[in-house]
Amino acid sequence: MKDKFAVRAIIFDDEKNTPILSVQNGVYYKIPGGTIEEGETEMQALNREVLEEAGCKIVVGECIGDFSFYHPLKDRTYHSKYFIGKLVGEKGEPNFDKREIERNFKVIWMPVDEAITTFERINPQDNIEKIIHNRDLSFIIKARNLLNNLKS
């Protein structure tokens, strides 16, 4: 099977709040982002996904890393590239797709330290959900640390 490639953003507003996505009423959390569709650049996909999942536009900052994992049941490797983004304009409403609605996605803006604590309180039981949850948590921590270093 073909590998899947995705882009994701840890977004900050002027008060250093960041959006996280609650999945299945908090069974696990993730950050906005998703698959790069055929014909899209990374930046086009990132801007589209952020608008769909977080309801906002961003200025994309630096790439802060990537993460890949193999899903044995789908015989596919998933690759995600992570960026920092800064909110531009107003926060709007997300436009979730059918699958996201069925999984009861909700976007929640909160201070970055609270977002990290929210992630850390959850321990998903499903192996793939655990990988996604922990993957995104590690990048929120990395983004927060980068921002803190800029202040020093």
Residue-range domains of the chain with CATH: 4-151 (3.90.79.10)
**CA–CA gap between residue 96 and residue 49 (Å, rounded):** 10
E-state strands within 13-139: 17-23, 28-30, 33-35, 57-71, 76-88, 106-111
In angstroms, the Cα distances linking 86 to 13, 100, 106 are 6, 24, 20
Burial class of residue 74 in the structure, from the number of CB atoms within 10 Å of its CB (0-12 exposed, 13-18 middle, 19+ buried): exposed
Regions of the chain short of the pLDDT cut 70: 1, 150-152
**Predicted pLDDT of residue 147:** 83
Helix (H, G, I), strand (E, B) or coil at 115: helix
**Predicted pLDDT of residue 65:** 96
**Predicted pLDDT of residue 62:** 93
Q: Which of 141, 109, 92, 142 is nearest to 22 (CA)?
A: 109
Report residue 122 as tokens. 């959850």
**CA–CA gap between residue 97 and residue 105 (Å, rounded):** 10
**Predicted pLDDT of residue 88:** 96
Q: Residue 13 corresponds to which amino acid?
A: D
**Predicted pLDDT of residue 60:** 96
**CA–CA gap between residue 111 and residue 50 (Å, rounded):** 18
> Which pTM was predicted?
0.93
**Predicted pLDDT of residue 2:** 86
**Predicted pLDDT of residue 1:** 65
